[in-house]
Every structure is written in C-alpha cells, then in structure tokens.
Chain A
C-alpha cells in the first residue's frame, strides 16, 4: 500500500497497477481455495466494468513513459494472467469458468504486444476446455465465447495471418464435435457463434471441412426442434459457409440446395391444400431439366433428417422451413467476394407459392387433410408468410436495381397479397416491402405502385385504432376539420372519387374492425415515402385526398396529448412509446405532404403549422426536435426564394386542371400542347409582364387571400368558367393542324432544306427587342384574362390558318416560335399577320447557314 500515496487522482497512470492488484486480491477466487464461489462470482460484472473503464490491462499510456511504472504495471498484469491460468487449470468447473470468461475479456483488453506473444498459449488452454474431458456446459460455452473473442482480436493483425489461419484450422474439429456429439442446445449456440467468427475472419480455415460443417449444421436445422434463436444462429453460419470457398459456384450450389430443401418440405406440408402442379413448377425452376440434381443439403435427404418424420403428420416443419428461408435472406444480403448468379425466379416463385396458401382447399381437390391438420397448419401459416415477406425484402435489397426485369412480377405478388392480408404483423411487413420497392426502384415504380399503396393506407388509417377509441374519425375535432372537408367537396372530382372508391374497401380488405397503431404507423410511413419519391409524377388524382387524410391523421394523433418516449422505465412496452412513434410518423408524413411538389399551395398549411408549433413546445423530446425542423423547412414554403422557371404557368395552372381530368396526362399529343402553348404564352403576358420575377406560390398567396383558391379550383368544372370553355374550343380546333403535323412527321426534315433557299437577312436581336418593347403595353392594357386569352386564341387560330395556307412548309419550330413571339409581340391579329414575315424570316435565317451539315441523314453518314 506504499504506492497509494504516489498518485494524485483517478486519472493518474500510477493508480492502475495497484488497482489491478487490488482486483486480483479481492475478486479473483484463489485456485486452491475450496469454496468462495458465491462471494466472488456475482461480483464479476463489477470487476469487468472496472477493468474496462480504467483500461487496467492496456499496459500503456500516452502520458507516462516512466520505466518503473511500466514495469510495475507489467508485473501486475503478469500476476493477473498467472492467476487466470491457474484458475483455468482448476478442476472445479466454477473456477475454471471464471478464468475462461476473464481470459476472454483479457483478449479484448490487453496490449497488442502481450496479445501477440501469448495468444497461442491462451488458445491451446481454451481449446482443451471444449474437448471431451470437460463436461460442464457452462465451461464449454464460455470457452467458445472466449475463443471467439480471441479470434476477433487476432483477425486485426495482418502480420500473423498465416499462423492465425492454421490455428483457426485447429478449432474446426473440436467445434464440429461439439455440434455433432453434444446434446445441450446452449452449447450449440456457443459453438455456432464461434463458427460464425471463424467463417467471417478465417474463411480459408473451413475450406477442408466444408462438407462436414455443412452436414453438421444442416442436420440441426432439419431436425427443427430447437429454439428460434439457436436455429437462426446456425442458419446464419450455413448462409456464410460458401464464403470459405469464395467462388461463384459454391454460393449458387448452396442456394440451390436450400431452395430444394424448402420446396421438399413444402410439398410434404401443403399436400392437400395445393394443387400438384405447383410442385412440378417449383421443381422445374430450381433444377434445369437435363442437369443433375445437387446432393441434398448436408448430405441428408431433407425429409429424413432428425425427428421430422415423427411429427410430420401432426404439424408443419415450420421451424425448419423458416430457418432455411432465413438462410436465403442472409445469403442475399451478406457480402460475397465475387459476383454470383442468383436464382431470382425460383426465389420469387417460392415466395408467391407460400403467400398463395391460406389454408383454404382448392376447389378441385378432394379433402385430404383432417380438420385438425388444417387447423394446425393455419396456426403456423402466418409465421411462414412473415418469412416469405422477409425473403422478398432480402431479394429487393440484394438485387437492387437489377430487380428491374422482375419488378412487375414482384408488384403483382405484393398487391395481390395486400388484398387478402389481414393480420397486423403481416401488413406491417407488407408495408415495409412497399417501402423497399419505392426506395430501390424510384419514381418509375412509384407511378404504378401509388394506387395500391393509397387504397390500403386509406383503409388502414380510416379504421378506428384498436388501442384507443378516441382517435376514431367520428371523434375528430369538428372545428379543425370542417374547413378541410368543405374544401374537399369543392375540390377536384378525382379527390372525392378517390374517397368513394376507397371507403367500400375498408370493409372487405380489413376483416378486423380496428387497426392496431403499429399498422397505422407503417401505413403513414409508406405514404410519407410515396410522397417523397413519387408525389411529383402523375399524382393529381390522389394528391388532394392524401393531403387531407394525412392532416386528419396528424390531428388525431396529437389530440390525446404528446406521447412520451423516455418515461417508460417500468414497462418496456408501454403504449406511450408506440403512441409517440405514431405521432412522429404522422407529423413526418404531414411535413412530406407540405413539401412534396404540387401544383397548388398546400391547402392545410395553417393547420399543419399550428400542429408543429404546438409540438415544438414539448422541449427535449424527439418530437419537438422534429417539429422544430419541420417549421424550419416550411419557412422556405412560406417565403419562397426560387424564381419560377415556368414561362407558361398560368394557362396550365387554371384551365388545364380541368383539361387534365378530361385528358389523361400522358395522352397529350404534340399539337394539343402547342395549342395550349399559345394560350399559356398569351396569359403569361398578362401577369408575367407585370411581375415576371415573382414566385407563383407568392402570387397565389396574394391573389387567393380571400379563398380564391377554392374559386380557382371551381374553374375546373366544365360549366362555369369561360376560360375552360375557351380551352375546349382550343382543343377541338387544332385537330386539323394536329393531323397535318403528324403526317408531316416523317418528311418534315426532308422538306426543310428546300425552304432554306429563301434568303432572308434579318437579325433576331431586332425581333426580340421588338418583343420586349411591346410587352409592357400588353401588360398594361389588360384587365380580364378571359377576354384577352380569347383574343389571343383567335389570333392563334388565325395563325394556324395562316400556317396551313401560306406556310405549308413551316416546321414545328417555326410554329412554336411564331406562337411565342406572337403572344408577346402581338396582342391582336392585325399585328400578328403583319409581323409574320419577320418571325418567319428570323427563324429560317438562323437555320440557314448550318442546316446543310445538320441534316440528320447526311450527318449520320458523315460520321
């Protein structure tokens, strides 16, 4: 104790050697002392925590190089190790266990130098404890764990790689022996985790015993009689096993073997609820006709592995099938050194096959199962369905973009299953499949997946929650919701149609009356992702209904007060935390609905802002943090900074809202667009000339202060707005021009050079200057947009005529340019026809000098 006064505080290095000695004295049981287990054993966690906090075994410190101190420390650690080794050699299993565990900790904590000098001794010592003379299971488990720690540390040193590999090789046989000959599940678990470490860090060491390891693991999995965790650990090892060979074929072979085994089990299990043809179909995908069947998994024919036969008549081999499917998942999502060829089709077929079986009897089959068998099967089916969804997720993760050729198939499987799936857990999984699809396949997928997501989310979110009757839609705050409801009635027709279409589905898709909150969370999360990925594209039909649904959900979720995430010491699964999750999810989705691109100002912005403000006041919670972020990001929406890119904005904005109802968006033909181009260009001059640099949202805000937003929506109804009428006229009128353009589609380029012979010297600068001077005039003399647009439209009508009569050779670009220029330069027809020549000349002038080498035909040849 003389050293005690040599150090200043707890940070001083000088304190460490005496501290370590103290620990040895007080906490380590002496090897020869008969019984002090109870006094020391329960103190071990404390010992370990002191060791780790003060890094007592590290033997080095950046601050001190005092050789005396280093020596003292070294000798203390020497003592510590001496003590541990004597414990290890004790014949008392409890002491031995203490020694082994602490040696594992030492492997993690000791200095590099010490580790490198003594790891082989430690390994031999530990190895002796997993071999036959030892019979205590605790000792075996502890040895496996400590060995695993030793290997984990060893893998960090590249300089001893070779030696390490050979040492690791020594471990394989004892581990296999543990797996094969021991009969305690806990020991297998230990052995599995050691095996996992071996495969991960020293894959080459397994190479020679590959088949034996496969057989050992497979027999355990196929027997299917252990706890899920043990089976999963073993399954993970099996999935990683091909890494030890590291070539393309062993991965594929393992995958094929596993799939065949799963299929064999399913064939047996689903006899009577599935048509025979399924079996052959699955088989055909797995084994190419003419090629040899691979040897069965682990060398067993799967059905005779373990105790399966005994129980097959009573229940499904669920544990086995699910473990094998877990294997597939892990194989698809773990890294592998080379590219592999994955049997995607057969995996997807397997998933589909499983999801199709719902326990009902196919009409063509005679009853084959007893009702007891069917009841048992139905009780087990959800587990299998859950695993098949997991497998689907793994496929999406593993394939990433390369799922593309199969994506349509996946979507069909998912949407079909969505219609029948009623169990909350499965629906949650299904929503996560949807999210994975949206994330990995992007916009192109979102366009097509949206209707299904929305239908399902609608039915899930509109049904009352199971845990809390308070949030049923009937009880929602009328004050808050009334305006939004009213708006929705006046809103786009598609929105209300959506609502009507969705409501009957609530009954049929949801056999439960209530939806658990966890499902609602999943639904809201999926909607959020749909909005972030796909809100921009073709979302007109569903956007407004989703916006209002999300607002309602957010308001409902926040009605009951704020859920507290932190305050659940007593109950680990306190509903409050689920509730807080729901609030967070619904607010996130609400933010997404505000921020997602839309053509109109978010209609419920004020209610949303209020929610976020209230949420922000709950200081110190995740929710408050999120609400703060939401308010911050919405600031840009309220004070927009970007300038509008859209030159043709107002025309599209008002009347085409209606037009898009009549015409599916993507069936616009070119000339229709051209026509609306006239219209829009004309309208741009009205508003755009005055304040061309203002943002559209800002404009709208000013215009719509007194509920003009609603009026604007009203214009989309065909009977009221003259603008809409004008548009209808304009849409019918260009039919001729349209046809004309299409007819010319092929030969217009051929026509082009001929026109170029006309020599026209006129610079564009003049014309554009022209345009600029005339624009303010247009802006000032206009009051009523409809009248003006009619005028311009008639101008454009006439232009079309002119186009046909006079300039039959004019190509579309000229047409285009003419249109635009006309709109800016010529508010009335007279001017239009007068400057036609200018415009015509200007556009052909530019193309004149270059067009010769720009001719596509000659161009391709000259290359």
Chain B
C-alpha cells in the first residue's frame, strides 16, 4: 500500500492519503514542519521536525506511530533542526541544525552518535544515498557536500584527512533548496536546486559539475524520473519544468537550454514534489495547500488532495507493508502486529557516560527462515548404509542383538535338552538303582 503523506508550514497536521484510491487516511495532529522536515523512519513511524516559534532558540522533533493521530514522542535537540532524513532501514536519523551542524542519532536508543560541523550556514536539506553509505547535505550558503558515513565514524582517518567531506560543491551561490539523488550507487548523479535559479547536476563518481540548467524562476523542489530521462523542477512561478538529463533537448525552446517543457495549472508556487515510479506519477505540493497528482505519461492532473490552507512543504510517498485503515479495529489489529515500540526521544548531547549502553547496539536480527525439514527417509538411507557397511558399529550392534537373541534361544534349547537329559539320566539311574538295590548297597 502506497500512501502519500504531506505536511505544511502552518499547523494543518500531517495528511495521509492512499495513492491508489485517493482515500484520506488518518491525519496526524499538530505538525508545522519546515521544508524537508518530514521523514518516514524505515516505514515504521513518522518523524517531523517542528518550528513553532521563529524566535525560539530550540525546536523539537516529533514522532507519530502510523496508527495514532497524536504525536507520541517529543525530542528537544540542542538547536533548531530543520531538515531530517532517515536511512532506509530506519536505524538512524540525521538532522541539520541552523548552525550548520549535522546531528546523527541512533533511533533505537535515541543516542546522539555524532555531531559535526558541516556548513557555515544552516543546513537546508539532507539526503541519504541509495546504499545509505553517503549523506548529501545542502546549505544556506549554497554549498552541497557529500559525506561518507564511514569516514564520519572513523576517528583515526579523520585525523589524517584534511577535511571530513568527500566532495564539496560550491558552485551554487545562494541557498540550496532541494537535492535529489539518482540511481547507480557510486556512479549516481545528484541534482541540486538553489535560489540562484539554477539546478545543477553533479557526478558523484567524478565529484564535479556535469550540467547547469538555468530556470526562469527559483526552483524549490526537484524530483528525478526513475529512468533518469528527465528531472522535474517545481518553480516559484507555479510551473513544473521538465529538464533533460539523458533526454534529447532541442536547442530552441521557450525556457532555456535543457528545459524541455513545463506543466502548469495556473497555481501558486510549487513547494515540494515526489515521484512515484509505480504508475509514473508526479506529486506536487503547492502554496495553495493542494497536492496535485500528475500522470507523467499524459501530463494531466489525475487527482488532487486538499491538505490545508497553508503551503504544503513536504510530500513523501511511503510504501507500507500492511494496510492503514481508518476503522479502529483494524488499526488496532495491525498496530498490534507491527508493534510500535516507543522509541526513546533523541538525545540533546552526546554523552558516553553509560559505557554499558555504549558497548551495545540494539538490533533487529535478520529475518532468516531456517526451518527443520523431514528427516526420516534420509535417516533410513543413512542407517541402511551403515548396516551395509558391515564393520560399522550400528551393524555390529544389530548383529549382536540378533546373536544375543539366538544365543538366548539356544540357551533355552540347551536348558530344555539338558532338562530332558537330566530327567532321562535320573530315570535311568533310578531304574538301575531300583533293579539292583542289593548290588548297589553292597557296592557302596
């Protein structure tokens, strides 16, 4: 079941719709999110960073289980966190602070495993690579950096290296608004959008710029088509531009080099987007509070979800393994099966005082299926083989058994014969004694 979840910068809760049917599911309450502040943690629960009071020196992060509308866990990081992201397993959450620090938490324990200074200005977006080994961060200073998490956790190598990051892309001049990553592991491309009205395509393998696309408007959201034919860029002018990646783009077009076309619905600025490969759908959130679902084959709007009055600024498509139903009984049943174990809140500071916890990691063991199978026929073969090999102990044992039984029987036979013989002898002796009593007495 694929669900669409969306949140807004004003408190409209987190909306949740079934992508196939369009039916609205639960609405998770009290959520006002910054852009890129909403994340599904390994499809097991939702997390969203919150910015309620702009003057506050700290924000908080909320968790919702899929089955309950109320937020269940509230964390208070050391500074306001705007973008958050989780790896695909849902074992780690990263958050980008307004000071430019990146925080790395372990979900199961809530421990702050690492914190490092990543950018000079606030972090605006965070993306995990396909294999979860790299983290890509964008910042208000226009910088896009690629981090190897392995390096982040290797203190020895860090001392040898001059910097922590793998790559630092500094070609953007203004705040980075969105980052999307393509397919292909180490050879993937990264597309970043910035307020400098450009989208830039970077090569992860070569660590450099591949393509620069200048748009007529500031781009706040990007989504890559899963075949990497094109990418979609949602602009503040309300248009969704289609820009070529591997697609052929004719040099003469209306918008500029590499821009193939646009989708437009006369709407307010596009604030966020998500692409669903299943069905080739593009979802766009807009400042008017609507979420439009575009069929990219026909380039028509096939569905619209109304989220709130305020601007939608996060859309996610989450694949759930079990149906999320509004009817209470089913929700309970499913929540019992997929028990939402209440995770501890994220810690404010890295404290390794409790060494015992430091040494241990809470893990979900792999779900291997290793069941016993029927053995009898195999056992028969094995034993027969043993029996046929006359020297083997089993055969010897069988033989001994049989011989014992034979011996016993022979013994019985012997006993019987002996008895018969004894009787006979006794009889004969008696006969003889009876016949010659006199002689015997004499003899004796």
Contacts and interface: CB of A to CB of B under 8 A. Distances in A.
A443 B133 contact: yes
Contacts of B151: 444, 448
Interface string A307-341: 00000000000000000000000001111100111
B153 A443 contact: no
B170 interface: yes
Interface in A751-810: 752, 764-765, 768-769, 771-772, 775
A536 B205 contact: yes
Interface in A619-676: 642-643, 645-648, 652, 665-671, 673-674
Contacts of B150: 404, 407-408, 411, 441, 444-445, 447-448
Contact of A52 (B98, B130, B377): B377
Contact of A764 (B205, B212, B216): B216
Given A332-B365, A765-B254, A45 B210 contact: no
A137 B394 CA distance: 8
Interface string B19-62: 00000000000000010000000000000000100110000000
Contacts of B91: 401-402
Contacts of B377: 45, 48, 52, 104-105, 108
B291 to A, nearest CB: 19
Interface string B362-395: 1111111111111111011101100110000010
Interface string A811-830: 11111110010000000000
B203 A344 contact: no
A108 B209 contact: no
A312 to B, nearest CB: 30
A153, A291, A398, A863 interface centre (most CB from chain B within 10 Å): A863
Contacts of A44: 380, 384
A398 B365 contact: yes
B208 A668 contact: yes
A666 B166 contact: yes
B196 A847 contact: yes
Nearest to A847: B197
Contacts of A441: 131, 133, 150
A854 B171 contact: no
A643 B362 CA distance: 46
Interface residues of B, number: 122
Contacts of A769: 252
Given A407-B150, A673-B170, A145 B375 contact: yes
B333 interface: no
Nearest to A105: B376
Nearest to A93: B401
Contacts of B256: 764-765, 768
Contacts of B198: 813, 816-817
Secondary structure type dominating chain A contacts: helix
Interface stretch (B241-249, B299-307, B317-325, B417-425): B241-249
A765 B131 CA distance: 40
A92 B409 CA distance: 13
Given A404-B150, A405-B113, A138 B397 contact: yes
Given A343-B360, A400-B89, A149 B129 contact: no
B286 interface: no
A101 B247 contact: no
Nearest to B80: A860
B401 to A, nearest CB: 5
A206 to B, nearest CB: 15
B217 interface: yes
Given A149-B374, A693-B248, A847-B197, A536 B185 contact: yes
Given A537-B186, A812-B170, A854-B195, A104 B129 contact: no
Interface string A831-863: 000000000000100110011001010011111
Interface stretch (B70-78, B140-148, B275-283): B140-148
A142 B394 CA distance: 12
Contact of B398 (A94, A400, A746): A94
Contacts of B186: 443, 446, 533-537, 597
A9 B18 CA distance: 56
Nearest to B313: A863
B434 interface: no
Contacts of A339: 108, 341, 362-364
A545 interface: no
A860 B54 contact: yes
A342 interface: yes
A340 B363 contact: yes
A132 interface: no
A37 interface: yes
A258 interface: no
A201, A341, A448 interface centre (most CB from chain B within 10 Å): A341
Given A335-B367, A448-B157, A643-B246, A137 B375 contact: no
B116 to A, nearest CB: 14
A23 to B, nearest CB: 14
A749 B133 contact: no
B267 interface: no
Contacts of B381: 45
Contacts of B196: 811-813, 816, 847
B218 interface: yes
B239 interface: no
Contacts of A400: 89, 363, 366
B171 A670 contact: yes
B376 A647 contact: no
Given A442-B133, A645-B245, A749-B174, A677 B209 contact: yes
A546 interface: no
Nearest to A681: B212
Given A442-B185, A745-B120, A335 B397 contact: no
A41 interface: yes
B435 interface: no
Contacts of A177: none
Contacts of A148: 372, 375
Interface in A440-456: 441-448
Contacts of A342: 360-363
Contacts of B108: 339
B175, B214, B247 interface centre (most CB from chain A within 10 Å): B214
Contacts of A411: 150, 154
Nearest to A817: B214
Contacts of A646: 203, 210-211
Interface string B249-275: 001101111000000000000000000
Contact of B172 (A94, A404, A536, A812): A812
A92 B198 CA distance: 90
Contact of A850 (B133, B168, B187, B218): B218
B84 interface: no
Interface in B152-166: 153-157, 162-163, 165-166
Interface in A537-580: 537-538
Given A344-B360, A667-B162, A749-B174, 18 more contacts: A41-B387, A136-B401, A145-B376, A200-B371, A335-B368, A340-B363, A400-B366, A401-B92, A402-B91, A402-B361, A536-B185, A665-B207, A666-B167, A746-B121, A775-B251, A816-B212, A817-B214, A860-B51
13 contacts: A52-B377, A105-B376, A138-B397, A344-B360, A400-B363, A412-B156, A441-B133, A442-B185, A447-B148, A535-B186, A645-B246, A646-B203, A816-B196
Enumerate the 10 nearest inter-chain pairs by beta-carbon distance, A residue then B residue, closest first: A104-B376, A670-B170, A442-B131, A444-B133, A813-B196, A536-B186, A408-B154, A442-B133, A536-B205, A536-B187
Interface of A: 35, 37, 41-42, 44-45, 48, 52, 92-94, 97, 101-105, 107-108, 136-138, 141-142, 145-146, 148-149, 152-153, 193, 196-197, 200-201, 252, 285, 288, 291, 332-336, 339-346, 397-402, 404-408, 411-412, 441-448, 533-538, 597, 599, 642-643, 645-648, 652, 665-671, 673-674, 677, 693, 741, 745-746, 748-749, 752, 764-765, 768-769, 771-772, 775, 811-817, 820, 843, 846-847, 850-851, 854, 856, 859-863
